[in-house]
Chains A and B, each alone.
Chain A
Amino acid sequence: MKLLLRAVLAFCILMMFSLQTGAQIWISNSAPKESSSKVALTGMHKLSTLRGKRGSTKVIQWLRSGSSVEESLFSQADSSAVLLLFDPQKQKVAVETIADHYSSAFVFNNTDEGFYNLFYLTEKVHNDTLLIACASREILNHSCRNGHAKELKYIPYKTFADAIPMQIVRERTKADDLHYFVTSGEFVTFRALYDGKPAEGVKMTLVSQKGWKKVLFTDDEGIASFEIIQDYFTNWNVFDVKKIHNYLLIAEKTFTETGIHQQKAFTHIKYVTTYSEAYLPAKTNYMSFVWGLIVFFITVIASSIAVYVYRNRRNVLKKHNYELPSKY
């Protein structure tokens, strides 16, 4: 009886949680504990890849539900959902869904260098509102070991107005190349695009790895900027400069519009788009410009004095006597 009560209680909590945050589906690079042995983090961007006989070849990403990066549940994909993957050339490519009894994962080959765009779209009517949820992720594929055939510079974001009604893109910075990583302490700017055009007044919620949240509304250019706060604190001797944390961005906007979807009438359309990405600790945590300058100037002064003293104590301009050839 106790067990049954517990199961009912757990089900109720789960239902409440899913009703409250059900639309907040997002795509995660982190594997569930049960799958961690089958997955390896590869490349400089630490993408989850399936372990195979010939090494890690396919990228794998998981569908999750919730607004917490660490606590969100792994979810199963909806059979009516649309799954889209675009390669760096904006060509639609195949993506496979692997499902088990509690989670779904998306698996694909990342053969080309650059950003792959993965989208998972669902549409359903709930309480007179058509909820259009889109989980999106930009997946950067690059390995220095394959050389740098392409330009190592700024890679612009891609828009998919035809396929995605409301898209979130991260504005690129000058340093945004194939090696770029967002770091904590950095301001990251996002743009909300509705039908490919900037969307004003979109509610943007940024959630950090440890659960810190901030809410902003986009301006007339569809822009909202967040500072990614530092939430990784540890002792110096165990500090991991490549400690990957993830943030989750949830963008929401409701429009008044009537219609019928799958024989259900609605009076509003609510778009919820999520975007997640990894970030690293700030370089200022472990790199010191001041110490660099101190070492530089001490070396310059010390070596200059050494050269001066050496040249004064020794005849450094010894004349070299060239051996004359025999004919002379």
Chain B
Amino acid sequence: MNYLQNIKHKADRANVSRLRFWIQLFTFLLIVYGGYFFIHIGSQVPTFACPYNQGSPGTCYLIAMQHGLHLTWSELVSYRGLAFFTGFLTFIGFFIVFNKAWCGFICPLGTLQDWITKLRYKIGIRFSRYDSASFQKLKKIKYVILVLLIAIPLGMSNSFFGLAPINHDMQSPFCQVCPGRTILPLASADTSQIFIDFTNKTTLVMSTLGILITALFFVGAFAKKRFFCFFCPMSALQFLFSRIGILRLTKNGSNCTRCGNCNRVCDVGIIGIAEDITSKYIVKDDCMMCFKCVEACPEDNCLDVRVFNAKIFSSTQEGFFKRYIQPNELSLKNEKNDER
């Protein structure tokens, strides 16, 4: 028992952000170049494993979902619907293991944004945050995108309200505007996705939108941490099932002093994590489970990372001081300087 307590004690003092950096580097190489090493992780990956990238070892579930929903109602309740349901269960199976840590530790687009943030920090340019009113409004966009990427494929095969089916040029609508499609192939020196498609008006609009969003991805990530994650439909989809995740982030509100450290270090800028003292399960829809909040919390056992119900990493005063007050560490002081 003492042995386990010792390990837990060490984990609570650990610098998870540093560990996360190395995991992100490894998973970026895996997700972007794994295919070149004959790695195949399936077609229901809950992160941006983009098949437009030649080196991708798998396929993002969003593209599988869009293809899978391109069905008539009768097909949806036939074996094709069963195939879609099986794919969906596979996605859930992948997802529940890491929960939303897929975003914080594995997503290659998230990793790219984190690297752009580091670059901005090195250059000495300040970052931006949304105020709470804007935050509440903008966070709904990802749900709108999620609804559209479900409705449009269904609308291509079916008629809604007596209207004609949607043009087939809208196939995989999210992929047409996803920055992952344009950016990840660049990592394999493939520029073939940077194009404007003049085939017809639909493709012209969608391909232009895709390039616009790609450009905004870079500028946005430079100005605001994890800019794109705020609008990501994968994040919205994952949140719908985050309650069943094995990996959990919990909060003991009675230990919270609302110092706001957790909110200040949060890359997405979730205010609820600081203000909510009633919910035990604290994963919000924008959370990417990077666990920076646990690192930055100075209160013992206020925030906990759990596997099922077992705590594997908890906020402690000792850990907080070790991580942030010791020299040569990424400190809150630096974070504040960053806001200048």
Assess whether B195 is in contact with A288, with CB atoms less than 8 Å apart. Answer: yes
Q: Which residue of A145, A293, A299 is within 8 Å of B70 (Cβ)?
A: A145
Q: Which residue of A239, A286, A289 is within 8 Å of B194 (Cβ)?
A: A289
Interface check B293, CB cutoff 8 A: no
CB distance from A127 to the nearest CB of B (A): 51
Known A145-B67, A303-B216: A325·B199 in contact at CB below 8 Å: no
Please name the residue on chain A nearest to B168 by beta carbon: A242
A147 partner residues in chain B, CB cutoff 8 A: 43, 64, 67-68, 83, 87
B260 partner residues in chain A, CB cutoff 8 A: 320, 322
Assess whether A295 is in contact with B258, with CB atoms less than 8 Å apart. Answer: no
Interface check A93, CB cutoff 8 A: no
A287 partner residues in chain B, CB cutoff 8 A: 195-198, 207
Interface check B136, CB cutoff 8 A: no
Assess whether A295 is in contact with B83, with CB atoms less than 8 Å apart. Answer: no
Known A145-B71, A289-B191: A316·B128 in contact at CB below 8 Å: yes
- Complex CA gap A149/B198 in Å reads 32
A324 partner residues in chain B, CB cutoff 8 A: 258
Assess whether B43 is in contact with A292, with CB atoms less than 8 Å apart. Answer: no
Interface check B51, CB cutoff 8 A: yes
Assess whether B211 is in contact with A286, with CB atoms less than 8 Å apart. Answer: no
- Complex CA gap A287/B68 in Å reads 27
A297 partner residues in chain B, CB cutoff 8 A: 215
Assess whether B128 is in contact with A311, with CB atoms less than 8 Å apart. Answer: yes
Assess whether A300 is in contact with B215, with CB atoms less than 8 Å apart. Answer: yes
- Complex CA gap A222/B218 in Å reads 48
Q: Which residue of B70, B83, B194, B274 is within 8 Å of A296 (Cβ)?
A: B194
A288 partner residues in chain B, CB cutoff 8 A: 195-196, 198
- Complex CA gap A125/B256 in Å reads 94
Assess whether A146 is in contact with B211, with CB atoms less than 8 Å apart. Answer: no
- Complex CA gap A293/B258 in Å reads 47
- Complex CA gap A10/B277 in Å reads 93
Question: Which interface class (under 10, 10 to 19, 20 to 34, 35 or more) fits B?
Answer: 35 or more
Interface check A323, CB cutoff 8 A: yes
Interface check A162, CB cutoff 8 A: no
CB distance from A54 to the nearest CB of B (A): 10
List B residues 309-329 near A (Cβ within 8 Å): none
Assess whether A148 is in contact with B51, with CB atoms less than 8 Å apart. Answer: yes
Assess whether B219 is in contact with A291, with CB atoms less than 8 Å apart. Answer: no
Interface check A102, CB cutoff 8 A: no
Interface check A4, CB cutoff 8 A: no
CB distance from B149 to the nearest CB of A (A): 15
Interface check B306, CB cutoff 8 A: no
Interface check A313, CB cutoff 8 A: no
Assess whether B258 is in contact with A317, with CB atoms less than 8 Å apart. Answer: no
Assess whether A293 is in contact with B277, with CB atoms less than 8 Å apart. Answer: no
Q: Which residue of A144, A286, A320, A325 is within 8 Å of B197 (Cβ)?
A: A286
List the count of A-B residue pairs having beta carbons below 8 Å apart: 108
Interface check B24, CB cutoff 8 A: no
Assess whether B194 is in contact with A300, with CB atoms less than 8 Å apart. Answer: no
Interface check B271, CB cutoff 8 A: yes
Assess whether B256 is in contact with A144, with CB atoms less than 8 Å apart. Answer: no
List A residues 114-169 near B (Cβ within 8 Å): 144-149, 151-153
Assess whether A320 is in contact with B59, with CB atoms less than 8 Å apart. Answer: no
Known A288-B195, A300-B218: A328·B257 in contact at CB below 8 Å: yes
Assess whether B256 is in contact with A307, with CB atoms less than 8 Å apart. Answer: no
- Complex CA gap A266/B339 in Å reads 91
Assess whether B128 is in contact with A299, with CB atoms less than 8 Å apart. Answer: no
List B residues 178-202 near A (Cβ within 8 Å): 191, 194-199
B40 partner residues in chain A, CB cutoff 8 A: 151
Q: Which residue of A293, A304, A316, A323 is within 8 Å of B219 (Cβ)?
A: A304
A149 partner residues in chain B, CB cutoff 8 A: 43
Q: Which residue of A148, A286, A291, A296 is within 8 Å of B43 (Cβ)?
A: A148
Known A300-B218, A320-B263: A292·B195 in contact at CB below 8 Å: yes
A152 partner residues in chain B, CB cutoff 8 A: 51, 59
Assess whether B208 is in contact with A295, with CB atoms less than 8 Å apart. Answer: yes
B198 partner residues in chain A, CB cutoff 8 A: 236, 286-288, 291
Interface check B223, CB cutoff 8 A: yes
Interface check A53, CB cutoff 8 A: no
Assess whether B54 is in contact with A316, with CB atoms less than 8 Å apart. Answer: no
List B residues 196-239 near A (Cβ within 8 Å): 196-199, 207-208, 211-212, 214-216, 218-220, 223
A325 partner residues in chain B, CB cutoff 8 A: 256-258, 277
Please name the residue on chain B nearest to A284 by beta carbon: B195
CB distance from A305 to the nearest CB of B (A): 10
Assess whether B214 is in contact with A296, with CB atoms less than 8 Å apart. Answer: yes
List A residues 227-285 near B (Cβ within 8 Å): 236, 239, 241, 283
Assess whether A317 is in contact with B339, with CB atoms less than 8 Å apart. Answer: yes
Please name the residue on chain A nearest to B193 by beta carbon: A292
- Complex CA gap A152/B49 in Å reads 13
Assess whether B211 is in contact with A296, with CB atoms less than 8 Å apart. Answer: yes
Interface check A6, CB cutoff 8 A: no
- Complex CA gap A323/B276 in Å reads 10
Given contacts A287-B197, A295-B211, A296-B215, 16 further A-B contacts (CB under 8 A): A145-B67, A288-B195, A288-B196, A289-B194, A291-B198, A292-B194, A299-B211, A304-B219, A316-B128, A318-B131, A320-B131, A320-B260, A322-B260, A322-B263, A323-B258, A328-B258
Provide a sorted-by-A list of 26 A–B residue pairs whose CB atoms are within 8 angstroms: A286-B198, A287-B207, A288-B196, A288-B198, A291-B196, A292-B194, A292-B195, A292-B196, A292-B211, A295-B208, A295-B212, A296-B211, A296-B214, A299-B216, A299-B219, A300-B215, A307-B223, A322-B260, A322-B263, A323-B258, A323-B275, A324-B258, A325-B256, A325-B257, A325-B258, A328-B258
By Cβ-Cβ distance, the 8 closest A-B pairs, closest first, are A299-B215, A291-B196, A292-B194, A287-B195, A303-B219, A322-B258, A292-B195, A295-B211
